[in-house]
């Protein structure tokens, strides 16, 4: 019974965290209180389900438990304030009356989806882009501060301070827990696209743990991308994001070997890919790829499609991929894009030209916590016959990686 309860709690955490939290926010009207209530509810579930068995609807059980805990905390706080007023009249300070504004369920929202409301709340324009994305990973995915810090290549203390400031700003600014109306929707679109993309990325390759993918996170990112596509139709960047997610998800079945080991794209069985999803992705961006200045998601989807539609790995059009990466760097100047471009550059101009780019990125230092930089460096050094240096680079990649499947893959390359 104990193992069954633990599995059920872990599974429900993966599937239901965001929905339970969003429902609790409506009751608590405070992010920190809602988070604490949900965490306590999961802890309560572990002991109660071990004793009484797993309920038929674990998500509903947790939502009820979390709301009850939030209400109890609110009642205690209210009683304390009433008794305090009998002793002293407190000095009013700015922010004392601030509270989270919850959505009106009477029809004011564009869409009645609590997870999407949570995303839009996190993406309020008064928050910085990094705070928006970090808060989304915390609230929508339930990720730990440690894992979020790894995603942003910063220390845990730095990320903890960012999350605290972001949640405080939401409370003081009374940022509403709702999807904005049609007039305000475009102003939040870029941030929402960014966080859905980040959700998918985290699910596609989990930053830590024993599994390569978080299928529930991938599924939720795809669901939100589809919902956004319905909300904002015929927008190039929305079509591009959905296409990018579809084509990357299309090859999930072949990313692991039969024995559970990670496989390079060159080793994957292309017949196992979801070709219907690949075709759908192509149709989504068909009207946008020839634009004068394509957006970053359309360009990324185009690159992914060149990989997916080639009959074999050897027939991939690497020159076109380099050209698209050059465009992508204009739309989204990022050291990660430069690193990905270097892999394609090795196919067209040779490993030394690509290695020069990687060494430049290494000297720049922005990716010094990013395991894929030394991994790419090792791959290029191997091609140049510099095996000792390649071994050292792979060792560094192994030290930086925290996903056990990826660590196993790196270790096998060094054998």
Inter-residue contact 378 to 390 (CB < 8 Å): yes
The residue out of 89, 108, 131 marking a domain boundary is: 89
Three-state secondary-structure class, residue 289: coil
User: Token match 């360009």: residue?
Assistant: 299
In the predicted structure, residue 108 carries a pLDDT above the cut 50: no
| 89's tokens | 């009249």
Inter-residue contact 340 to 372 (CB < 8 Å): no
User: Of 380, 372, 324, 379, nearest to 353 (Cα)?
Assistant: 380
Asked if residue 110 is part of any domain, the answer here is no
In the predicted structure, residue 171 carries a pLDDT above the cut 70: yes
In the predicted structure, residue 84 carries a pLDDT above the cut 70: no
In the predicted structure, residue 279 carries a pLDDT above the cut 90: yes
Helix (H) or strand (E) holding 102: strand 101-102
Calculate mean pLDDT across residues 354-379. 95
The residue out of 89, 120, 138 marking a domain boundary is: 89
When mean pLDDT is compared across 30-39, 102-111, 126-135, 226-235, the lowest value belongs to 102-111
| Residue 228: half-sphere exposure toward Cβ, Cα within 13 Å | 33
- CATH of residue 46's domain is 1.10.1740.10
In the predicted structure, residue 409 carries a pLDDT above the cut 70: yes
User: Of 273, 36, 74, 62, nearest to 167 (Cα)?
Assistant: 36
| 357's tokens | 């780019």
Asked if residue 292 is part of any domain, the answer here is no
Cα 143 to its chain centre, rounded Å, is 9
Pairing outcome for strands 176-177 and 208-209: unpaired
Residue 20 CB: number of other CB atoms within 10 A? 29
Asked if residue 300 is part of any domain, the answer here is no
Asked if residue 50 is part of any domain, the answer here is yes
- CATH of residue 395's domain is 1.25.40.10
User: Of 190, 59, 201, nearest to 143 (Cα)?
Assistant: 201
Asked if residue 20 is part of any domain, the answer here is yes
| 135's tokens | 């808060």
Asked if residue 156 is part of any domain, the answer here is no
Asked if residue 23 is part of any domain, the answer here is yes
The residue out of 42, 65, 89 marking a domain boundary is: 89
Residue 72 CB: number of other CB atoms within 10 A? 12
Percentage, residues of the chain above pLDDT 90: 49
Asked if residue 408 is part of any domain, the answer here is yes
Length of the chain: 415
Domain containing 51 equals 2-89
Inter-residue contact 109 to 185 (CB < 8 Å): no
Selected residue with higher pLDDT from 302 and 21: 302
**Separation of alpha carbons 313 and 268, rounded Å:** 9
Tell me the pTM.
0.80
Domain count, the chain: 2
User: Of 371, 352, 353, nearest to 362 (Cα)?
Assistant: 371
| 2's tokens | 């104990």
Inter-residue contact 345 to 326 (CB < 8 Å): no
């Amino acid at each position: 019974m104990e193992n069954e309860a633990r599995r059920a709690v872990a599974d429900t955490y993966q599937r239901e965290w965001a929905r339970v939290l969003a429902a609790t926010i409506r009751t608590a009207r405070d992010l920190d209180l809602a988070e604490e209530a949900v965490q306590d509810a999961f802890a309560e579930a572990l002991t109660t389900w071990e004793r009484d068995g797993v309920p038929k609807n674990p998500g509903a059980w947790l939502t009820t438990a979390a709301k009850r805990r939030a209400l109890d905390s609110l009642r205690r706080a209210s009683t304390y304030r009433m008794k305090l007023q009998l002793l002293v009249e407190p000095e009013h300070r700015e922010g004392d009356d601030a509270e989270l504004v919850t959505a009106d369920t009477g029809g004011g929202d564009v869409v009645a989806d609590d997870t999407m409301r949570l995303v839009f709340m996190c993406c309020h324009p008064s928050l910085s882009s990094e705070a928006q994305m970090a808060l989304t990973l915390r609230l929508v995915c339930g990720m730990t501060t440690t894992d979020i810090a790894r995603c942003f290549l910063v220390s845990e203390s730095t990320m903890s301070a960012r999350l605290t400031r972001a949640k405080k700003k939401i409370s003081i600014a009374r940022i509403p827990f709702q999807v904005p109306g049609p007039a305000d929707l475009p102003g939040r679109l870029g941030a929402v696209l960014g966080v859905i993309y980040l959700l998918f990325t985290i699910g596609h390759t989990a930053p830590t743990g024993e599994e390569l993918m978080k299928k529930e996170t991938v599924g939720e990112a795809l669901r939100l991308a589809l919902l956004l596509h319905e909300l904002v139709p015929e927008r190039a960047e929305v079509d591009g994001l959905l296409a990018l997610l579809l084509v990357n998800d299309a090859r999930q079945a072949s990313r692991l070997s039969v024995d559970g080991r990670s496989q390079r794209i060159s080793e994957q069985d292309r017949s196992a890919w979801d070709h219907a999803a690949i075709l759908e992705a192509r149709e989504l961006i068909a009207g946008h790829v020839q634009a004068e200045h394509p957006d970053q998601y359309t360009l990324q989807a185009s690159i992914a499609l060149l990989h997916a539609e080639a009959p074999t790995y050897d027939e991939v059009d690497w020159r076109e991929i380099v050209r698209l990466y050059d465009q992508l760097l204009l739309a989204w100047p990022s050291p990660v894009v430069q690193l990905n471009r270097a892999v394609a550059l090795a196919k067209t101009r040779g490993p030394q030209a690509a290695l020069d780019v990687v060494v430049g990125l290494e000297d720049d230092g922005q990716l010094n916590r990013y395991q894929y930089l030394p991994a790419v460096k090792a791959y290029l050094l191997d091609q140049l016959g510099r095996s000792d240096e390649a071994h050292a680079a792979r060792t560094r990649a192994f030290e930086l990686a925290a996903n056990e499947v990826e660590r196993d893959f790196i270790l096998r390359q060094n054998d």
